[in-house]
Structure 1
């Protein structure tokens, strides 16, 4: 079987940014041809009515000679203008009094040529009303090769396609490009912010989902502020949680009923076997019946755990460990072990259910008795901050099995006498108390460490 590396989940935020950017690119790509068509149509419609054709050509050709006098450079547009406009005329002057003129000024315009000091910008027309194209214009121009100058010229020159294209390019650089830049920045920075705000409710639902545990049933993901597009997914998850809760409750009820139904036949079996004459077969049947009784008790303990949180109260870990040692010392001695109780403190307060913790410690000591090799010492220690340790001198637990042994019905050795529920019960009890159980190297043997959370500072002492 070929294992493929899982693909990284796609980011909705950046997917939207990319799609919006692509859409903007497509719109801009379509807009440019439309602008070109509009520019051509505008130029064709207004080319003959453009009044600055002569002044534009003169402005582009203006320069100064070595002495600072105004001159016109021989440009292609100037040559074309002189060729097409036989009556070309103009007057150019600067603020220093330098003047450049060409052609014969129409008599009607001659008086204005002598009054340019009193004219800033003007359009001259000899018809009443607003003329589409005046007979002459006066304008100050700053961006010329000769600096700031004033131009008085006729309006017979036409708008060239080259100049119209340059004007369109300038329009693109000054107007279109900044708009595109603002749109791109808005897409890059605003869209993630908008998406983050829109998905805030989904983040709350994800946070709630991360807290779902087997011990917290009846949990539903919140729908507040969840986007409408994601609501069906959240509803589907909530429906699945309801089905899981229902199935778990059905499973729990079945195990509880089965365990209760088994207790009576097992008790009857024990009674009848105990009345038989002592034989090796009777001893084996008694052991098997005891295993069955233990399995029944463990199943009931697992089902009762979830209802014991409300019975938590102050307790003393040293006292609980000492009680287990007293109860199981005869069994350990008869199995060939020495038993040692080594509390590092006289009392060690904690919060929890005494019966459950006592059952967990008992299971671990019984596990040490069964798997310790019937030799050496079993040591029960209690240390700060809130730890109980059970150490044997057996073969220990392989590193690769240390997680598996806490799985229900898992047995390290197939021929072990246990049902494989004892260590799972211990883990469930520790999780119920907010603690943890871990297996370490005892050197030799196995060291089971039960770590409990510290009790609140204001909790009453035992």
Structure 2
């Protein structure tokens, strides 16, 4: 069986792929645009600020002094034109290197600033500087300094790595985690509809799929399904009414014909008796199927008494055909079911055994299991399923209608039981009917009312 297309791709996978591609293209466009912008000169590397701040100390009078450190010595060696100004919040300051005259006006006011990145477009870019506030052991300090220079492309790449990449990862993780959950939640109504559809039973008509909590896009499909179920129910009702009406209308003329055939002395007319009998059986079986479709009431059935009653009713037919019948009770056990329907099951099985079996028929009761055994030619294994199909006859020229075993299968199915065919040990056929399922699980039948309590 070919698997149909899944909604996961158009609803989950495709939107996620488009979402990620859009983010990636946007980032690339942003980086490309930033790289084309005139930078106005290189940046001063901000890493010089903590190195400078760590080298600042106070003398006994509280003035700021520069304390030589290994990091500062390394920075000075890497940047020969290193210069910086440092001030505390009280206006005390200290300088290092040759501070450009442009920044002399900042003396005593650095603490009023907190952040700046100054660029110089003219080589050697001595005016490029960075300003930051740092918290140190001697208190907050404001540092303005010039050191190693960085080009714009490096800054952009660093910014994209530090800011953009985490954003992309966060959006990706969020999308992969939340989007499937949102889709599953939106389609939860579809799962419930599928479960309701699986519970639709042809023997329990009138069921409809619920339209509550179904997405608007799916609601037309659900309504179409309900309309189809309604039309099927109406067609089934018309069919049942036709079968019932036709069967009832046929009974009277068949009875009249049977009376005329029985009273006729003409051998040609009397030869029609077999055909009329077959027509009578067919009519009765059609009525049985129609009554079965209407359902019945589950009551406690004594299978032993039922078996003996049916055998007694069919005894004249068996004797007329030169057959013998017996009832064997191996275990007696009460059973809940439709007594009239189960009687038709035994009638059809025993009539088949009398008509097509051997000389001896045994009806065996084993608790809730019934077995009808004959010593006839048997049923080939490849035909044992087909004989339960409506109007199928193992022997095309037999007098049967082809509905008897189909009716048996329908009744047993409504009792949630099963009927199987086996070969008898000494030849012949055993038809086994298992009615072991409790009555509360039977379909198409209502349980008897519980007795009231006074």
TM range, normalised to the smaller chain?
0.7 to 0.9
User: Are residues 1:39 and 2:31 paired?
Assistant: no
**Local SS of the residue matching 1:239:** helix
Tell me which residue corresponds to 1:355.
Answer: 340
**How far does residue 213 in structure 1 lie from its aligned partner after superposition?**
2.1
Aligned mates of 2:448, 2:234 — CA distance in 1:
38
Q: Is the 8 A contact 1:314 1:460 kept in 2?
A: no
**Local SS of the residue matching 2:271:** helix
Change in 2 beyond 3 A, CA 1:259/1:137: closer
Tell me which residue corresponds to 2:424.
Answer: 442
Out of 426, 433, 438, the position equivalent to 1:454 is 438
1:25-174 map, 5 Å: 25-40=20-35, 43-44=37-38, 46-48=39-41, 53-55=43-45, 70-71=73-74, 88-90=81-83, 104-106=98-100, 137=130, 153-154=145-146, 160-170=151-161, 174=162
Tell me which residue corresponds to 2:67.
Answer: none
Change in 2 beyond 3 A, CA 1:323/1:36: same
Change in 2 beyond 3 A, CA 1:119/1:137: farther
Out of 256, 274, 285, the position equivalent to 1:287 is 274
Aligned mates of 2:172, 2:377 — CA distance in 1:
68
Which structure 2 residue ranges, 5 or more long, are not aligned?
53-69, 87-94, 119-125, 136-141, 441-446
Which structure 1 residue ranges, 5 or more long, are not aligned?
1-5, 83-87, 94-100, 126-132, 143-149
**Stretch of structure 1 that moved more, 403-412 or 157-166:** 157-166
User: Are residues 1:344 and 2:355 paired?
Assistant: no
1:376-415 map, 5 Å: 377-384=360-367, 386-415=368-397
1:315-326 map, 5 Å: 315-326=301-312
**Stretch of structure 1 that moved more, 409-418 or 188-197:** 188-197
* CA RMSD, Structure 1 to Structure 2 (Å): 4.1
Change in 2 beyond 3 A, CA 1:284/1:190: farther
**How far does residue 74 in structure 1 lie from its aligned partner after superposition?**
9.1
Aligned mates of 2:72, 2:182 — CA distance in 1:
62
Q: Is the 8 A contact 1:259 1:300 kept in 2?
A: yes
Aligned mates of 2:155, 2:97 — CA distance in 1:
27
Tell me which residue corresponds to 1:146.
Answer: none
**How far does residue 252 in structure 1 lie from its aligned partner after superposition?**
1.1
TM-score (norm 1): 0.75
Tell me which residue corresponds to 1:296.
Answer: 283
Aligned mates of 1:313, 1:122 — CA distance in 2:
92
Q: Is the 8 A contact 2:114 2:132 kept in 1?
A: yes
Q: Is the 8 A contact 1:90 1:151 kept in 2?
A: no
Aligned mates of 2:245, 2:115 — CA distance in 1:
106
Change in 2 beyond 3 A, CA 1:390/1:289: same
Tell me which residue corresponds to 2:64.
Answer: none
- Superposed CA deviations along residues 100-152 of structure 1, whole A, max 9, x for unmatched, are x9963457979999xx9x99988799xxxxxxx9885565899xxxxxxx986
User: Are residues 1:23 and 2:23 paired?
Assistant: no
Q: Is the 8 A contact 2:327 2:362 kept in 1?
A: yes
User: Are residues 1:272 and 2:260 paired?
Assistant: yes
Q: Is the 8 A contact 2:345 2:408 kept in 1?
A: yes
Change in 2 beyond 3 A, CA 1:205/1:351: same
Aligned mates of 2:128, 2:277 — CA distance in 1:
122
**Stretch of structure 1 that moved more, 329-338 or 348-357:** 329-338
Change in 2 beyond 3 A, CA 1:54/1:254: closer
Aligned mates of 1:299, 1:212 — CA distance in 2:
25
Aligned mates of 1:449, 1:57 — CA distance in 2:
92
**Stretch of structure 1 that moved more, 425-434 or 262-271:** 425-434
Q: Is the 8 A contact 2:46 2:130 kept in 1?
A: no
Q: Is the 8 A contact 1:137 1:152 kept in 2?
A: yes
